[in-house]
Amino acid sequence: MVQQFNPANVMTTQSVPSDVATTIIDRIMGQSAILQVAKNIDMQGKQTKKFSFMTGVGGAYWTGETQRIATTKPTFLPAKLEAKKLAVIIPVSKEFLSYSYTNFFSEVTPLIVEQMDKAIDLAVIKGINTPYEDSLANAAQTNGSVLSGDINYENILALENKLYDKGLQGNAFLSTLTNNPALRTSIQQNAGLYPDKLYDSSAKTLDGMPVVDTQQGVLNKGDLVFGNFDYLYYGLPGNMDVEIDKSAQLSTMTNSDGTPVNLFEQDMVAMKVTMDIAVLPVRQDAFATLNVKPGDDVLGSVPGDGTDTTDKNAKANTAKAKPATATSSEQK
């Protein structure tokens, strides 16, 4: 049986233009919801970076003419970013490259970006297949900042109050396009002729704060995240690496008969894209969620996960080659 390979799962080619990595990483930065709202830390080419963040600036004091001005010490807390490797391998047939080489990178770049964006956002928001110690959903659950119910006027204000009650000011929402109908109808009830309308679709704001949409498959319909994203940091210690191979055996991707994909035997090539990225919420109490569940697996199992990791959300690849069986005539 001829094997069918979907470039949406993995990709490849014979030569890599110098601007490919730059194009991919620029698109990831512009499309990942997390990387749009988080604050960047320069990791100076290192896998780990220690830094301090400010939680308060003390107070201001009245003073008279010629009197000394009182000074207060700002409050700083230590934190450490630790980069983890994110990778995707895209195998395609040599025929695919030969027939569409000129359009190859324009076709596969969006696929790489989509998969890496989803992996980042799922890990940081929900803690799915994550290498990081914390997620926004877990932080909200730990601090009792979790709500359930419909997206409506009352619940949006209640979500905001989860932060305000802790003396924190939120500055953005994470949502999904499927929430737009509910957001547009989040209007104050029984308010007469001039009800308060929270969502501004033209400015893409909710109660005056920006709404950033995740890609489809990250947040479910009805999910909202509210937070002060000044307390979410990320760092990139280096550039993206792109490698080509024509002879590898892809143990975590199987053929329809359960055998591993072998590039040499099946006359294929594969492109491997890797990048290191660190993401860290430094204050758990700075995030609140509506209907978001930690570890709510939207994408399903990932082939190969769990074979060499301690991630509690990872699932092992159990596909094995099927043993040959004798026909009825041979058995006789």
Which of 108, 104, 121 minimizes the C-alpha distance to 29? Answer: 121
Range of the domain at 236: 20-55+77-298
**Cα-based distances in Å from 227 to 83, 204, 263:** 23, 16, 46
Question: Is 72 part of a structural domain of the chain?
Answer: no
Helices (H), 78-221: 94-100, 104-121, 136-142, 153-164, 180-184
Which of 23, 113, 94, 117 minimizes the C-alpha distance to 244? Answer: 94
Which of 248, 271, 246, 275 minimizes the C-alpha distance to 104? Answer: 271
Question: Is 104 part of a structural domain of the chain?
Answer: yes
Element at 24 (helix H, strand E): helix 20-31
Please tell me the distance from the alpha carbon of residue 94 to that of residue 263, in angstroms, as a whole number. 10
Per DSSP bridges, beta strands 287-290 and 146-147 are: parallel
Q: Can you give the pLDDT at residue 64?
A: 72
Do residues 183 and 223 make contact, with C-beta atoms less than 8 angstroms apart? no
What string of pLDDT tens digits covers the 332 residues of the chain? 333 434 444 444 334 555 666 777 777 777 899 999 999 998 888 888 887 776 655 667 677 777 776 666 667 677 788 999 888 877 766 666 665 555 666 667 777 888 888 999 999 999 988 888 889 999 999 999 999 999 999 999 999 999 999 989 999 999 999 999 999 999 988 877 788 899 999 999 999 999 999 988 899 999 999 999 999 999 988 777 777 666 666 666 667 777 777 776 666 777 778 889 999 999 989 999 999 988 754 444 444 444 444 444 444 433 333 343 443 344 44
Question: Is 66 part of a structural domain of the chain?
Answer: no
Please tell me the distance from the alpha carbon of residue 233 to that of residue 136, in angstroms, as a whole number. 12
Question: Is 239 part of a structural domain of the chain?
Answer: yes
Radius of gyration of the chain (CA): 25
Question: Is 83 part of a structural domain of the chain?
Answer: yes
Question: Is 235 part of a structural domain of the chain?
Answer: yes
Please tell me the distance from the alpha carbon of residue 257 to that of residue 284, in angstroms, as a whole number. 46
Q: Can you give the pLDDT at residue 97?
A: 61
Question: Is 120 part of a structural domain of the chain?
Answer: yes
Structurally, the chain folds into a number of domains equal to 1
DSSP letter at 28 equals H
Question: Is 8 part of a structural domain of the chain?
Answer: no
- What CATH code is carried by the domain that includes residue 48? 3.90.1690
This prediction's pTM: 0.75
Q: Can you give the pLDDT at residue 52?
A: 75
Q: Can you give the pLDDT at residue 309?
A: 46
